[in-house]
Amino acid sequence: MRLATRSVRVAAALFVIAAASNPRALSAQFPASTGFNVLLGVDQTWTVSLDGGSTFFNAFVVASPPGAWQPNTANYKWISFNAAASNGSSTSYIFRDAFNLSGYDPTTFGIDFRCAYDNFLGSYSLNGGAAVTGGCGSEGTHTFGATQTLNSGYLGGNNTLDFFVNGDGTTDGFLMSVDAVRARASQPSTVPEPATVALLATGLVSLGAMRRRKRN
């Protein structure tokens, strides 16, 4: 029994280490880099809204970003409302990653990421919580800024991570690289199953009956 318990602990420790060193090896239910999960030029994870969040549709990958933008890589790519990242008029966008942490402890979950945008980043928000401003790259260079750390505000089920970008209609887009993920599985419940409780009650009744027969 001790060996089995130790094996579980070792496996859990290795999972946390793997999460930090290789976030893309983890479940698709975790936050993802933009442009990583792509099918026919469309990001299957990230969505975008042009009407303030009333409706969302899957974002397009910008395969040939302008020269001023942070270059695409195999691990992350720019996304926008269309493949050309241009519509000719100023627009406000919400870029959203929806994910689910069922089976994981949300109080111990966290990510490190970098992001970039064109033209103006208003803020980003987890689950509609307090807006975070700054730290998401440079408006002038459209390149990554310092690593951002988000370690609180997660829910045990569905979560949304929103980035609010204002564009000028010439070249508008968003880029995010998830560099590390910290995840710990939820602890199993210690409450006995109903069948176990019923079995225990039956055993106690039987034991009581045996004691009464001995006394008689």
For 111-140, b where at least 16 C-beta lie within 10 A, e where not — what string? Answer: bbbbbbbbbebbebbbeeeeeeeeebbeee
Mean local confidence (pLDDT), 14-25: 42
For residue range 144-167, list pLDDT tens digits in order: 989 999 999 999 999 999 999 999
As a whole number, the mean pLDDT across the chain is 81
Predicted pLDDT of residue 187: 79
Mean local confidence (pLDDT), 18-25: 43
Domain 2-189, CATH 1.20.120 — does that match?
A: no
Mean local confidence (pLDDT), 25-31: 67
Predicted pLDDT of residue 173: 95
